[in-house]
A and B are shown apart, each in its own frame.
Chain A
Amino acid sequence: MRLSRAQLLRLVPGLALAAAAPARAQVTAGTPPGSTANSPNPASSNGDLVYVLNSGEANILVLDGTTREERKRIPVLREVHHLALTPDGNTLMVGDSGANEMLFINPATGELRKREVLSNPYHLGFSPDGRRLVITSLRRDQVDIYGWDGSALTLQKRLSAPDMPSHLAFRPDNAVVYVTLQGNGQLVAISLETLEPLWSMDVGPEPAGVIWHNDRLLIGIMGSDHVAVVDPATQAIERTIAVGRGAHALFPAPKGGPIFVTSRVDSRISLLDPGTLAVTRTLRVPGGPDCISIDPQGRLWVTLRWQGRIAVIDPETGKMEVQRAGRSPHGILYASVAAQRAAATN
């Protein structure tokens, strides 16, 4: 939503004038961290920023990674859902699908560098070699493959991909991208050499998140309660792992840590052992957990889609703290100053 609820509530009783100031983003980096009475965390800021894409409120919330105070809100035109860091870690790309725009942001400062007209960017991710950016368009049933030379995008191929292309994952050798199709329960493999579809297969109702893991594809089956383990070589489902109804997206922890799986209907995050894929722990997370970003301390920053909040969870202790973010928060990124070279997609 372009206007926040607060602005709306001012509007309805006719008290909008005071709110009619420009919505230009204001950097408040000079503000001493932890200086307000409402600071959730009095610790000193280390410069890390957290980006929360409020898909229903048309803005990007930028939080201080240490104090969790709001630094700024970057206004966008329509609906921001997903983001990706460029391979060099210097630019954060955020897709505004409804506005046909890609935003280019300095992840270290939150400065909006430029906007670029681009067709319906919903989900996006860079190939491991950083030479290609693949964008899925959920509402337009298309997958766009762009070339990336480090500074500009060039559309190389637009593929029709009915029905409702959603999340994507790459084979580590850069040869194939895999896309889930929520509308028809399929996974499609697309060659990044010929830029043509290779094969597709049924994986379960409403597949969403997909990751490459140990030569297998792990897929969250949102219309069911499990993660499907697919062998792309044989195009067969090897096994399923029950995690909770509405299995949605998967996020592997760095350095061989657990794989976190969100389940929207049962509102939980399941931890999978990276070796056996067995569920080792389940965290109850009310509010429709969706995307996750993992900070250097190993904490999970989670968007709670249906409650307009984010949660910060210590997966070791299960301790969870929540705070308001905006309407329908979706993608999230903890941009660590120290580890900004690690490309991330969310």
Chain B
Amino acid sequence: MFETLRDGWDQMNGWLFETLVQPLLYAAGLMEWAEDAFEWMDFALFGLLQVLIIYAICRPLEAWMPVEPRSDRRSIRTDVIYTLLTRLGLLPLIAFVAFASMEARVSGLVADSGWVPPTLETLFPILREWPLLALCVYIVVLDFGEYWRHRFQHMFPWWWALHSIHHAQRQMTFWTDDRNHIIDDMIGAVWFGGLALLIGVPPGQFPIVVVILRLAEALSHANVRLNFGALGERLFVSPRFHRLHHGVLGSGESGKNFAVLLPVWDMIFRTGDFERHRYPETGDPELPEALATGGWLHQQWAGLRRMGAALIGRG
């Protein structure tokens, strides 16, 4: 069955590429980028599939065990717009492609010296024989990077000015995951893509890593009364674990539960709260109302102004 699915997926991609994308590239005189464009299209379609999977998993859970009623549908619609703009992996992909070109140049210079940079597999040869283990290692390293990016988002005032858009949502659902300022997204893409290249994530595995982390992030934002139990809460970030981070006591510089996928980072750096029965309200009353209930453009503008104020010391 999997083989049939794989083949079907490739046939669909191939047909779309040959019918729509490749003729456009040819007409535009960009055929030298055909292979990269094919990768991008595959990635974008995969992103669409990803949204559908997330919806299929999270929406029934939210309907089954909601923490709070869906009373502010307008606010949720804004989050859906955020998702559609960013969920297809466009920004991480741009960062990765840009970094891949840059990395190729830098590697070329390095290769001139006779030294070829190692990958994780060359440092740890066992990973070469166990690709799934290699994938797990990549995910752990990248998740560690995401933990610290999240810490910095709360630590630096100018960064918190951007990230507070994410925390202003009082009607948190699985759509809230992508509620970020576009500058924040760009920084995140550069951070994530740069780290991926630093440790040598194979381009083909990059989308898989993105999908796994995105799935975890979407579920953690879901409006669902769900914890993973005493042990599970310490293994993977649950909706309960992350809701606490979005509560009044959790946000800001003294926040808790920063982990994206693996709570072990919160345990190591003593920022974890594993009290399993608290499902606080989300949002931050100290933030401007525009960040909570404004439209996408309104929120982006407000975030930009707040960042500017923070940078000149008035925020």
Contacts and interface: CB of A to CB of B under 8 A. Distances in A.
B236 to A, nearest CB: 10
Contacts of A16: 132
Interface in B10-45: 10-11, 13-14, 17-18, 22-23, 26, 29, 31-32, 34-35, 38-39, 42
Nearest to A10: B2
A24 B204 contact: no
Interface string A190-225: 000000000000000110000000000000001100
B135 to A, nearest CB: 7
Contact of A264 (B34, B117, B202): B34
Contact of A306 (B38, B104, B131, B211): B38
B18 A306 contact: yes
A156 interface: no
Contacts, number: 166
Q: State the main secondary structure of chain B at its contact with A.
A: helix
Interface string A48-59: 000000001110
A239 interface: no
Contact of B116 (A8, A12, A119, A139): A119
Nearest to A265: B26
Interface stretch (B67-75, B106-114, B146-154, B243-251): B106-114
Interface string B114-137: 001101011000001111111100
Given A75-B128, A99-B119, A223 B26 contact: yes
A2 B111 contact: no
B315 interface: no
A324 B3 contact: yes
A246 B26 contact: yes
Contacts of A206: 29, 31-32
Contact of B202 (A7, A98, A118, A120): A98
B230 interface: no
Interface string A36-50: 000000000000000
Nearest to B18: A306
A70 to B, nearest CB: 11
B111 A100 contact: yes
Interface of A, secondary structure class, is: loop
B14 A307 contact: yes
Interface in B203-228: 203-205, 208, 211-212, 215
A265 B204 contact: no
Contacts of B105: 140
Given A4-B6, A56-B39, A77-B119, A265 B23 contact: yes
Which of B104, B135, B204 has most chain A Cβ within 10 Å?
Answer: B204
Contacts of A56: 39, 42, 204
Interface of B: 2-3, 5-7, 9-11, 13-14, 17-18, 22-23, 26, 29, 31-32, 34-35, 38-39, 42, 53, 100-101, 104-105, 107-108, 111-112, 116-117, 119, 121-122, 128-135, 202-205, 208, 211-212, 215
Given A6-B2, A140-B111, 10 more contacts: A2-B204, A78-B203, A99-B119, A119-B108, A205-B31, A306-B17, A306-B38, A307-B14, A324-B10, A328-B39
